[in-house]
Structure 1
Amino acid sequence: MTDNSEPVEHIEVLSEPLPNGLLWQPSIGEETSTLMERLRIELDDEARQRIQESAVLTLGRCTPPAQQGSTTGLVLGQIQSGKTMSFTTVAALARDNGYRIVIVITGISVPLLKQSVGRLRQHLGIDSGNRGWRHIPIEHASAPDIQRITDALDEWTDPEVPPRERRTLLITVLKQHRNLIRLTEALRQINLQDVPTLIIDDEADQASLNTKVLNADQSTTYMRILELRDAVPRHTFLQYTATPQALLLINIINTLSPKFNHVLETGQGYRGGEEFFNPAGRIIREIPAAELSTPQQPLQEPPPTFFEALRLFFIGVSAGYCQGNVMQSNRTMMIHPSQLTNSHVLFSHWVEQTKVAWDQLLSLPNGNADKEELLEEFRHSAADLRATEPSLPSDNELLGTNLKFAIRRTPVQVLNRRSGTTPQVDCGAEYGQILIGGNVLDRGFTVKGLTVTYMPRALGTGTADTLQQRGRFFGYRAPDFGLCRVFLPGDVALAFQNYVEHERDLRDQLRAFERVGTPLPEWPRQFILDPSLKPTRDSLIDIPYLWGTIGDSWIYTRSPHVTADSVAINVRVINDFCRNLTFQQDQGHAERTEHQKHLVATGLNLQNVLSELLMRLQFRSIEDSQRLIATFSLLQRIVEQDRGTTATVYLMSSRRNRERTVDSDDRLGGKESILFQGANPKADPARGIREGSIYPGDDAIRASTGVTVQIHTLKIKREINGHSEDVAENVPAIAVYIPTGLARPILIQPQGGAIHAS
């Protein structure tokens, strides 16, 4: 922002109703507009528009700047997907709309703090003269300058200071208890009762939560964050993370349990788990168990996959030299053996040793047998990369001088705290770089130009959020994706594959819940997760969870009649879908009633049933939306794994109205308000009558293979004071059956909204 920019001091009032979940409508002012202009050199129009719209949806869920009170919100991104850019834009928008303080809690180490603060200052224009912000950094052994804080805040209430001259405080603080208490003690000395404040907790599931909850105690950093919030009466606490499991599973009465959520969408160039772990891809390579170091059998020499990974990386670096792409970019290899620093030293020695040996061999005269053997191995690596990156230069270009440059010029840097402080990465020094480390290369660390990852690290406890944070290979990798290779132990690769399904289900559910706009505490805590993974650290969770299954049972709408407009839409969707199908009378006993005779269409493509029927239906009940969206998301993954999966669709009672009475909660599903008609006749052993000999019951009306969808047409009634009252008729309801072979395990925690059996 330039010096003469003017923060907007009003909330824009629109004639149209607010989107679900928004408390107010933030206005795009000069700060946000100028930020978007600044980002033109990094992002295209679509990306900037997406980021700006997302910021509006985020800030609009926060406590309005003109109101008292505080709240907590979750902003869910993905690994290296642009979360920092998101909260930078939210901060700019907050300034436009009268927030006077923006506090960013970021990084549990100084390098991570500097990384985030550097980006904030750059993109907000602070480093280039934007004086609309006053930056107050809270660093080790430094107390904040209270006078500088109060001077900036006084400008907001001084009528003689033009609005354009009023400064917003940007306070950045390391997520460490001593730094947090220094900030809190300073803020307690200032009257902040009427000061709208935004607190952003970057990587909010790390270090912020209470690790002593099972002991009825409070961990230090958690306590300091609560104290900071208490010192700022009028604020929103925004939790940014890509791994929300802990935040969603802590007790919903906890102050840090989010009350609303916003799901960030990635841009076109993002490559995440679905792309890296696509079964049809060639990106993931297994490190055999024999090549993994263990305390019982430590490695004595570099394993074959290590050399393979190095060759692939150096071919990629050589390609950059061939194409002249080395000035403003990087190609990086990451080696992540374990958290033990001795292993970092060992791998560093192996890399340096290999570089020297290969450089010497490549400097030998042409025709030398050892040189030709090495070149042949590099040719195999080039052919491997060419399968996913057809534009790779020819072997003649790759394997000459540029390959020697790639090997000689690529530095090796060990990143750990062995010497007391973590070294900084100088990405500008060389085009190629090899980074070796452990936990430093986990959460929050951004790796520029990462193409090859070698991670011979054990799965450990199999904690889902910890595992995912190791995925530094995820990110905006589209330009170099064909050069990417990730080497993992087999069990770790399988765990990542399982996480892909879990992440997609979680994001789909939260995205659907966000659209409805209901408070997040009402979200039923249940999501797909393979039992081989734990969702998060046990020390954070005081409400036990259990395991169940989605599939191998019927899932159906409980409240299909909630709104007349959704009923009308669903009738139209079903009519459009059925118009193009051929239905036949199902087979059954001659004595069935008309309501027990159905029309059936078999052998349908599940993808078409999903896209033309199920995904177009509208569910206005929170319970229906949450349960069915999760089911449809699972069906979509089933289709992606096998596009030949079939579905069978039944028109129950040939679309005649069937009377059903809803319970006191206005829903189907109780003993007296079941959707399904039971078996006919009932069993009577004394008379030799077998249950269901004429009609087996609705729940038995399903295909022997594939997915079954039942479409019911209902006349809804309600019991009031002993009398039956008509509510609606011609109401569509659906039931979906996923067979055992397609079922998925789910985690269930008994808190949040009602969780009902299928």
Structure 2
Amino acid sequence: MTDHLLNLHTDALGAMRRGPKGFSRLAAGLSETDDGHETDLGVFQARILEGDAGLTTLWSRALCQWDAALTADWSSAPPCSDERRADAYARLGFGADLAKSLDAAAPVDKGPQPVVISESNQAWYTRDKAVSRAFYWPAYENLLRTKGWSEPAITSLGEAAHNVVERLSDPARVEAYGARGLVVGYVQSGKTANFTGVIAKAVDAGYRLVIVLGGTLNLLRGQTQRRLDMELIGQENILGGADPTDLDALVGVDYQDDEDWPGKFVSHGSRPSHLGAFDLERLTTKDKDYQSLERGIRALDIEKVEKSLPLYHPANLHPAAARIMVVKKNKAVLTKLVNDLKKIGPILGEIPALIIDDESDQASVNTTDPSKWEEGKETRSAINTLVCQLLGLMPRAQYIGYTATPFANVFVDPDDSADLFPRDFLVSLPRPVGYMGVEDFHDLDSDLPASERTVANSREAAHVRGIDTSTGDRLLEAIDAFVLAGAMKLYRSAKGVPDGPFRHHTMLVHESVRVADHAALAARIKGLWDSSYMSSESHFRLAALFESDYMPVCSARSDGLPVPGSYEELRSHVSRARQLIGSGGNPVIIVNGANEKDYAQPGLDFDRTPNVWKILVGGTKLSRGFTVEGLSVTYYRRKTQQADTLMQMGRWFGFRPGYRDLVRLYIGREEPYGKDKSLDLYEAFEAICQDEEAFRSELTQYAQMIDGEPQLTPRRVLPLVSQHLGLVKPTARNKMFNAELTEIRSPGRPIEPAAYPREPAKIQANAKRWKPLLHVFGAARQTLDLPPDETSPLTRTFEAALAAVPHDSLVSVLRQLEWEGDNHFEPHLNYLSKLNGELAKVDDWLLVAPQTTPNRRIEASVLGSAPTSLVRRSRQLDKAAFGRISGMEHRRWAESLIEEAGSGNESVRARALGVSSRTGIVLVYPVVEASKDAALLAAVTDGTADPKRVIMAFTVVPPTTANDSTRRLLRYQAKRSGI
């Protein structure tokens, strides 16, 4: 039976491409009846309350898209906010009751959104244009729904893709222009899904040649090709229109032995060109990288409908088939492609092309040293040369790099016009829902003492198992964990949990880059397997690990998934897991080698192998791009001195549906990392995570437009990358020739310098410079309240000493301080110095000296001051910088008070503390560099702290009013070859 109400709402929303408008009036004009039933909002609300799937999905889609649009000419409210949703309801003419029903059915997704840093771009990719020729994007969108993606997740991906495509050049533009951009995601977080969406929208818009640079191995290139074939290109384009059930038509098709063909490959219903759209022609296949064009140069000689008009004219562009290829970043392959393109002739200048560079910080970046170039002559590395040649041959080619570790890309010289610097845009993707990243294995924001952390409140306690070789290397235990995790997957599948995510079950062992070491380690694992799992005694060992580890973690973190009450309930599944892992007589696969044939193993083809249940042993080749499906246990001990390499090694990051609580990371904890030997491998990851998140936070803060213009552009991003790293650099030395820091304004936001001197004499000198302000330690102590917020529903308190000081007195002290290495505080000090009226007026600062809890407090006098609470902090990863200075609750208290004071309606507590809209807050901490409380006692003699060991550390929170009328937050200085 026809659902007239659903059809009416579909038509009405179809007429709202540019944004919401009066629904009742629009519906009345579209309705096919005169009885008013279809246009009755009460009937609509009743259907929503009844859970009508069709209407709910339809409106969820529309509301999510309106919520998420980065810019909306119908609302001034920020994206994904209650205010934006309220504006939509007001324009629709919906009352409070209907709005409440829709909110319940489709809540506002207030999660993180894409951050876009961009030059001003030509507005060509409007919502109307995006919809008017949409074919491949709706097909991809529907495929994601069949895979279980939620409407907010699909909308988020669609908006991120739209934000990218609208910053490319209009494919029908007369003047040729090639945009350059960078998209930053997280390691193994779904970047392929994002660039698939970008390709879908771009070809719909008119791009007719797509080149995907898909890794440095056939294995990785083939993974990308299959994803695009399955989710974008589709059955009909792969077969050229032949019947996918015709066995004769499958001869030569690269998916005839793929268990997902054809059922899981998108189907367009017919050849797209028969449906009024255009076809996608593959120039590479799953098993074949780019060869010199088998059909000759005519494969890229796109036929014109109107011979007298250029290809980029709409009359020729939109009927034309698009060509797509996925190629390795390999010198021989790219040379063939460049040579073929050179033969095409003038038509090449008419083709709107899109180059997607996956893992763009690998191989693509020029790594030659400019100081060694011959005068007037640039020298480029091989892959960089070839990619730049591709762009030079195609003046209408757009380049988009994708990476999770962007530092090498933003260090490219902005003035090198032939290089790949993302001059036009930089998009930072949000952390996806369901993703397990660095923060899921570290307690980054926890103030809980180690003694109070449990598997329920500590991510580290739940997922991380440290390796200390003084008590054994725990390799057998890690293998036991792998067996138990596999048994738990089988148990959950038997209990009705969808087993799609359980198809593959893997363990990764990564200790060394040496091939010989891999062979020895694989032999040891095989020996452990043969000697430890061939008898019933292994059950006693597995039962003990289940009781001590898996049962408590799963009970606390299973999120409603089935958990066996005892090992006996799991025992039969343990036996089956052992059979699967040991199938073929060997539980181990070695993943290494210099040749492609070394990776052409059935056990590494997660697409064509029905079930991969194995332990993978390898090195570098497992550390970037390669997705280890079903990864549950990682045994990791390899070190590196490059932050981006370290992060890319984190193969344990990713999506773990149905088994997040089963994931375990066995990682080196005892091996010292850095000159001061104070950090281990696990802490190294934590330090890198903090630097990376700081970079993303900077992008988010400065993405806001000012008077319609961007205050931060890609050319000015470079100085925001943290460079106060010691042993571990943000990226390789040969990618860091052009980096320099900038100046920053921070109204209402914490400024927390962390690179304090190491030398005792400099530490003491800094302490003496603070002496004029140390009277704060003797001030009356008060109990300060932190009201409930998103982090806690409870009011929290802490004790602190408080004293007010004039602005000039504070700045005078800060100007005298010394720092370790580069002075990263200088940009902030330049800003603070101008708050004497030159930039804005700050009258005074409230000094706050927080005290630790009484039962853990160690007090001492500093340079004759009244006794105060000492705190201990540790530096990061051989950096000059500490991990953090201020306590999280102290910082939140200061920020909330500053926000209240600057709101124009000062709170009672702000007035009680003398904090006005022209008052800032400084949190002051006498820090002893130490990892344990016992070291604090060692720094104190007869109640006096050793001034050579007490670092006067601080966090400054300026008033929210501490800026000028332009509201700009940045002033730039960057090292540039053009200066």
Cross-structure match for 2:152: 46
Structure 1 residue 218 and structure 2 residue 372: aligned?
no
Question: Cα 1:347–1:94, aligned 2, differ >3 Å: closer, same or farther?
Answer: same
List aligned pairs for 1:312-351, cutoff 5 A: 312-324=481-493, 328=500, 329-351=503-525
CA RMSD of aligned residues (A): 4.3
Give the corresponding residue for 2:874: none
Task: Give the 3 Å change call, closer, same or farther, for CA 183–426 of structure 1 in structure 2.
Answer: closer
Q: CA deviation at 1:506?
A: 1.3
The 3-state SS of whatever aligns with 2:654 is: coil
Q: CA deviation at 1:677?
A: 7.2
Find 1:676's aligned residue among 812, 836, 857.
Answer: 836
CA contact (8 A) 2:847 2:924 kept: no
- Secondary structure (helix, strand or coil) at the match of 1:91 reads helix
What letter is aligned with 1:117?
Q
Partner of 1:30: 135
Q: Secondary structure at the match of 1:170?
A: strand
Letter in 2 for 1:540: K
Instruction: Please show how residues 400-549 of structure 1 align to structure 2 within 5 Å.
Output: 400-410=571-581, 411-417=587-593, 420-424=597-601, 425-427=604-606, 428-430=609-611, 432-457=613-638, 459-461=639-641, 463-490=642-669, 491-516=680-705, 517=710, 518-523=712-717, 525-528=719-722, 531-543=726-738, 545=740
State whether structure 2 residue 283 is matched by structure 1 residue 136.
Answer: yes
Matched with 1:625 is: none
Preserved CA contact (<8 Å) 2:282 2:323: yes
Where does residue 71 of structure 1 map in the other structure? 179
Choose 78-87 or 154-163, whichever is displaced more: 154-163
User: Which amino acid in the other structure matches residue 71 of structure 1?
Assistant: A
The aligned residue for residue 251 of structure 1 is 413
SS of 1:66's equivalent?
coil
**SS of residue paired to 1:704:** strand
Deviations 1:634-657 (A, max 9, x none): xx9xx99x976789999999xxxx
Deviation, 1:123, is 0.8
What TM-score do you get using the length of structure 2 for normalisation?
0.55
Over 3 Å counting, the alpha-carbon distance change for 1:219 and 1:733 in structure 2 is farther
Q: Any residues of structure 2 matched to 1:104-143 within 5 Å, and which?
A: 104-129=212-237, 132-137=279-284, 142-143=291-292
Mapped partners of 2:351, 2:800: distance in 1: 57
Quickly say closer, same or farther: Cα 1:290–1:652, change in 2 above 3 A. closer
Tell me if 1:168 matches 2:333: no
Q: For residue 523 of structure 1, report the CA deviation from its aligned partner.
A: 2.9
Q: Whole-Å Cα distance in 1 between the matches of residues 314 and 718 of structure 2?
A: 52
Measured after TM superposition, the shift of residue 141 of structure 1 is 7.6
C-alpha contact (below 8 Å) 1:102/1:171 kept by paired residues: yes
Structure 1 match to 2:532? 358
| Aligned mate of 1:100, from 173, 192, 208 | 208
Residue segments in structure 2 that go unaligned for 5+ positions in a row? 1-16, 20-71, 77-115, 238-270, 273-278, 374-378, 445-457, 582-586, 670-679, 750-779, 807-826, 851-889, 904-915, 928-952, 957-969, 975-979
Residues 519 and 549 of structure 1, relative CA distance in 2, 3 Å threshold: closer
Contact 2:487–2:577 at 8 Å: present in 1 too? Answer: yes
**1:203 Cα deviation from its structure 2 partner:** 0.5
Instruction: For residue 126 of structure 1, report the CA deviation from its aligned partner.
Output: 3.2
Q: Counterpart amino acid of 1:466?
A: T
Tell me the distance in 2 between the aligned counterparts of 1:31 and 1:671. 50
Using the TM superposition, give the Cα deviation of residue 176 of structure 1 relative to its aligned residue in structure 2, in angstroms. Answer: 1.3
Q: Offset at 1:465?
A: 0.5
Q: 1:285 maps to what in 2?
A: 465
The answer on whether the counterparts of 1:270 and 1:476 sit within 8 Å (CA) in structure 2 is yes
Structure 1 405/53 Cα, relative in aligned 2: closer, same or farther at 3 Å? same
Q: Give a deviation string over 1:356-398, Cα, whole Å, max 9, x none.
A: 2233212xxxxxx786456545544544654555543233445
CA distance in 1, matches of 2:178, 2:356: 13
- Equivalent residue number for residue 657 of structure 1: none
Match of 1:298 in 2: none
**Does the 8 A contact of 1:344 with 1:436 survive in 2?**
yes
Deviations 1:543-593 (A, max 9, x none): 3658x999xxx95489xxxxxxxxxxxxxxxxxxxxxxxxxxxxxxxxxxx
Higher mean C-alpha displacement, 467-476 vs 270-279: 270-279
- Provide the secondary structure at the position in 2 that maps to 1:137: coil
CA–CA distance in 1 between the matches of 2:317 and 2:186? 37
Aligned mates of 2:828, 2:598 — CA distance in 1: 61
User: Residue 671 of structure 1: CA displacement?
Assistant: 10
Change (3 A) 1:479 1:645: farther
* Aligned residue identity for 2:336: R
Q: Which residue of 2 aligns with 1:616?
A: none
Checking the alignment, whether the CA contact within 8 Å between 1:555 and 1:736 is kept in structure 2 is no
* TM norm structure 1: 0.70
What is the CA distance between 1:146 and its match in structure 2?
4.6
Query: 2:353 maps to what in 1?
Result: 197
Give how far 1:195 is off: 2.2
Range moving further from structure 2, 271-280 or 522-531? 522-531
After superposing the two structures, state which structure 1 stretch, 139-148 or 176-185, moved more: 139-148
3-state SS of 2:533 partner: helix
Q: Deviations over 1:688-725 (max 9, x none)?
A: xxxxxxxxx956542233555668989xxxxxxxxxxx
Q: For residue 286 of structure 1, what is the amino acid of its counterpart?
A: G
1:436 partner amino acid: V
Q: Deviations over 1:121-177 (max 9, x none)?
A: 111133454652111129668213453433435468689998775211112221112
CA contact (8 A) 2:783 2:800 kept: yes
- The 1:652–1:173 alpha-carbon spacing in structure 2 relative to 1, beyond 3 Å, is same
SS in 1 for 2:436: coil
1:323 to partner: Cα distance: 2.9
Residues 1:377 and 1:480: Cα distance change in structure 2 (over 3 Å): closer
Identity of aligned residues (%): 24
Total equivalences in the alignment: 602
Structure 1 SS opposite 2:179: strand
Q: Which amino acid aligns with 2:565?
A: S
Paired residue type of 1:314: V
**What whole-Å deviation, never above 9, does each CA across 1:159-217 have from its counterpart, x for those lacking one?**
99987752111122211122222212222233222322211111000001111134323
Distance 1:501 1:668, change over 3 A: closer
CA drift at 1:607: 7.6
Structure 2: how far apart are the matches of 1:648 and 1:286? 39
User: Which structure has the higher relative contact order (CA within 8 Å, separation 6+)?
Assistant: 1
Whole-Å separation in 1 of the counterparts to 2:800 and 2:165:
42
